[in-house]
Amino acid sequence: MGEITSDAAIMAALGRQMTRAVQKQAVAAGNLANVDTPGYRTKEAEFGEALDSALEPAGLAATHARHFGVTAGGPGAADVRERDGLAARRDGNNVQMDRELLAIGRAAGEFTSAQTALAAKFRLVRYAINEGR
């Protein structure tokens, strides 16, 4: 049968989600800061390797070629790369303000979701501690 996930694992996962959201916001903010920089190429945070390395200690492994892969990488760190496939202006810059603002909004939503779940977890712990008083 399935294992029971510990409170520490849940809190660590929520913390990682919040960290990733902050990293996504920072990359999008950097792109917006360079919207008028000639030749600037849009950056994007990728978390595939970070997720794989986070799963590796849990003993998860791919059992089929179409399943997720487990690779080595820095724990929790985003891999920031140039985003391909975006149309560039005459000055070579390919930052799209709408796309970056949407990315910031999505990251804020991800952060808020994790923060809400984490706050609920802490309320449960506080309730359990104060129940006898």
Report yes or no: 52 and 68 within 8 Å, Cβ to Cβ: yes
Residues of the domain holding 72: 7-130
Residue 1 in any domain: the answer is no
The tally of domains found in the chain comes to 1
Residue 2 in any domain: the answer is no
Residue 109 in any domain: the answer is yes
The full DSSP string for 27-44 is HHHHHHHTTTSTT---EE
Read off the pLDDT of residues 54-104 as tens digits, 9 standing for 90 and up: 555 444 455 555 444 333 344 556 788 898 899 999 999 999 999 999 999
pLDDT at 68: 43
Residue 116 in any domain: the answer is yes
Residue 47 in any domain: the answer is yes
Question: What phi and psi, each to the nearest 5 degrees, are found at residue 30?
Answer: -65, -40
Q: For residue 89, give the nearest of 28, 41, 44 by alpha carbon.
A: 41
Q: Is the pLDDT of residue 53 over 50?
A: yes
Residue 62 in any domain: the answer is yes
Q: 106: which residues sit within 8 A by CB, 6+ positions away?
A: 24
